[in-house]
Amino acid sequence: MKKQMELSDEQYIDKIVKLVYLADINFLVCDKIYRKLPENKLLGYDFSILSANNSFYASIEILHTLICSKKQEELTIKPILEKIIEKEKTSIPEIKENVVEAFLAFLEKNYPNPNYYEFDFGTGENNPYIGDNMADIRKKKRSISGLTDLGELKIHFEEQNFHKIRHQSVAHKNKLLKEPGGAANLRLEKDWIDKLGQIIKTLRIDCYIWFGCELSNPCVSALETLDGLFIAEKP
């Protein structure tokens, strides 16, 4: 049997980043449908619910693998993050931690489209090295708490019982469940969607720090196609 080719670090990171974007766009689709969905069942209601719920389930499926999986054959974040941190441990920039924390607060406040030129890096008003400054901040943050942040995100994800939705409701691995398939045509609790959104946001910012990927999702134009799909009243 032909030996499977190993991924380079760049290929591995590229695959992870694409999956994070995919989890994000699935969440955004779900969230947008629910925000536009009326309480009364109009024409197209069942289709919209099914589409939103399937997007929700797809998002948590991807996140569970990336964040929680321990299977060697699955694409997970921890091994490549460990490798990056180990490689960089002798070249950590001398940046004050208060600058790092201020930058993280700036990202949190302006997510998902920050104007990086609005952040004061402390290097002068016309800073030609903004890209280098951000790279140094990311490296510093990775070295300080990259693996801790990933561990906390995993705990947060599992505390919301999203893994139970994945294993039981979606895959229907518990025959005693009241509804098969996670009741894909029933409304999700708003709290579930809100909590998933916060986890996605945290992961997106973390991945910017860990891998340097953009906060703006290249798939976001998919949301525009939803605008013509909502729900006309029955004649």
Query: What HEC string does 172-214 produce?
Result: CCCCCCCCHHHCCCCCCCHHHHHHHHHHHHHHHHHHHHHHCCC
> For residues 210 and 146, is the Cβ–Cβ distance under 8 A?
yes
Is 235 contained in some domain?
Answer: no
Q: What's the distance, Cα to Cα, between the start and end of the chain in Å?
A: 62
Q: Is 42 exposed, middle or buried (0-12, 13-18, 19+ CB in 10 A)?
A: middle
Evaluate whether 27 touches 201 at the Cβ level (below 8 Å).
no
- Residue scoring higher pLDDT (111 or 231): 111
Provide the H-helix boundaries in the chain. 9-36, 45-63, 77-88, 97-110, 130-159, 162-164, 190-211
Main-chain phi, psi angles of 16, to 5 degrees: -60, -50
Hey, what amino acid is at 205? I
Residue 188 falls within a domain, yes or no? yes
Quick one: pLDDT band at residue 79, thresholds 50, 70, 90?
A: very high
Inside any domain, residue 234: no
- In which residue are the tokens 């091994």 written? 79
215, two tokens: 């906060």
Whether residue 3 lies inside any domain: the answer is: no
Residue 5 domain flag: no
The fraction of the chain above a pLDDT of 90, given in percent, is 57
- pLDDT score, position 188: 82
Query: What are the structure tokens assigned to 186, written together?
Result: 């029933």
Please report, rounded to a whole number, the percentage of residues in the chain having pLDDT higher than 70: 80
Residue-level pLDDT at 74: 93
Asked if 24 contacts 217 with a C-beta cutoff of 8 angstroms, the reply is yes
Q: For residues 154 and 68, is the Cβ–Cβ distance under 8 A?
A: yes
CA 126/CA 41 separation, integer angstroms: 55
Q: Provide the pLDDT for residue 2.
A: 43
In a domain, 115, yes or no: yes
Domains of the chain: total: 1
| pLDDT over threshold 70, residue 84 | yes
Whether 32 shows a pLDDT value over 60: the answer reads: yes
Q: Which residues contact 90 (CB under 8 A, 6 or more apart)?
A: none
In a domain, 4, yes or no: no
Contact 66, 77 (CB under 8 A): yes
Q: Which domain holds residue 161?
A: 11-228
206 belongs to a structural domain:
yes
- Which pLDDT score is estimated for 44? 66
Please provide the average confidence, as pLDDT, over all residues in the chain.
Answer: 85
Is the model more confident about 208 or about 173?
Answer: 208
